[in-house]
Every structure is written in C-alpha cells, then in structure tokens.
Structure 1
Amino acid sequence: MAWISLVLAGICEMFGVMMINKVNKERTWQALVLLIIGFSASFIFLAYAMKTLPMGTAYAVWTGIGASGGALLSMIFYGESKDWKRLLFIAMILGAAVGLKLIS
C-alpha cells in the first residue's frame, strides 16, 4: 500500500506542477486552489508512504516521478522539446525509481 501511495503522491506532484504553469498563465483563483489541492494531496500521500518506506527511497521516487512526469506533461501539453537526449534522461530517472522499488 505504501508504494501505491507513493505513486499517487508523484501523480499529485505532477498535477501540482501543471497547475503552477496554469497559475502563471491565467492568474485565476480556481487555478490557485487546484495548485494547493495538488501539492497538499502529494504531501499527504508522501507522508503516508514514509510511515513504511525509508525516507531516502520515498523522497527519491517521489521527486523522480514528479520531475520526469512534469517534463513529459510539458512535452505533451505545452510543446516543449522532445529531443531524444531529453527522453533518454527522463527514462533514466524513471529507471532509477523502478530500481529503488526492486531493492526495497
């Protein structure tokens, strides 16, 4: 259950990052509320996961999902570069997160 919670925390982190971009573009209170909800849910799920998982592992996986997911979403929704080198390093981040799961 802790790993599911950790993945949910990463997904909420990705949502929060998307809302940062939305707040910067729109400046609406709805976007700000969604940003706060996204990051709050992310921290709640992360805290739950850290009751079972080691802090270093949980934090590394959480940031890996958030960073790589945010980069992928920006490529999909905002037309950022899809250069093969960028995709390679995103895959390496995700591979490291999977590796941490396999050894934990």
Structure 2
Amino acid sequence: MAWVSLVVAGLFEMFGVLMISKLHKDRNWQAVVLLVAGFGASFLFLANAMETLPMGTAYAVWTGIGASGGALLGMLVYGESKEWKRLLFIGMVLGAAVGLKIVS
C-alpha cells in the first residue's frame, strides 16, 4: 500500500507542476487553489508512504516521478522538445525508480 501512496504522491506532484505553469499563464485564484491542493495532496501521500518505506527511497521515487512526469507533461501539453536524448534520460530516471522498488 505504501508504494501505491508513493505513486499517487508522484502523480499529485506532476499535477502541482502543471498548475505552476497554469498560474504563470492565467494568474487567477483557481490556479493558486489547484496548485496548493496538488502539492498538499502530494505531501500527504508522500508522508503516508514514508511511514513504511525508507525516507531516501520514498523521496527518490517521488522526485523521480515528479521530474519525469513534469518533463513528459511539458512535451505533451506545452510542445517542448521530444528529442530522443530527453526521452532516454527520462527513461533512465524511471528505471532508477523501478530499481529502487525492486531492492526495497
């Protein structure tokens, strides 16, 4: 269950990053509320996961999901570069997260 909480925390982290970009474009209170809610939920699920998982593992996986997901969302939503080198390194980050799951 801790791993599910950790993945959900990472997904909320991605949502929070998306809302940062939305806030820069729209500058309205809804974007602020969604940003705070996204990161707040992310921290709550991360804290839940850290009750069982080691702190270093949980934090590394959480940031990996957030960073990779943010980069992928940038490519899909904002038209950022989809160069193969970027995809390779995103895959490496995700592979490291899977590796931490395997050894934990």
Give the TM bin, normalised by the shorter chain: over 0.9
Task: Give ranges in structure 1 of 5+ residues lacking alignment.
Answer: none
Q: Distance in 1 between matches of 2:61 and 2:10?
A: 8
TM-score (norm 2): 1.00
Amino acid in the other structure paired with 1:95: G
Deviations 1:2-56 (A, max 9, x none): 0000000000000000000000010010010000000000000000000000000
Amino-acid identity (%): 76
How many correspondences in the alignment? 104
The 5 Å alignment of 1:56-71 reads: 56-71=56-71
Secondary structure of the corresponding residue to residue 52 of structure 2: coil
Amino acid in the other structure paired with 2:87: L
Task: Give ranges in structure 2 of 5+ residues lacking alignment.
Answer: none
Is residue 24 from structure 1 mapped to residue 24 from structure 2 by the alignment?
yes
Q: Distance in 1 between matches of 2:28 and 2:14?
A: 19
TM-score (norm 1): 1.00
Q: Distance in 2 between matches of 1:58 and 1:21?
A: 25
Q: Distance in 2 between matches of 1:54 and 1:24?
A: 35
Is residue 42 from structure 1 mapped to residue 42 from structure 2 by the alignment?
yes
Secondary structure of the corresponding residue to residue 94 of structure 2: helix
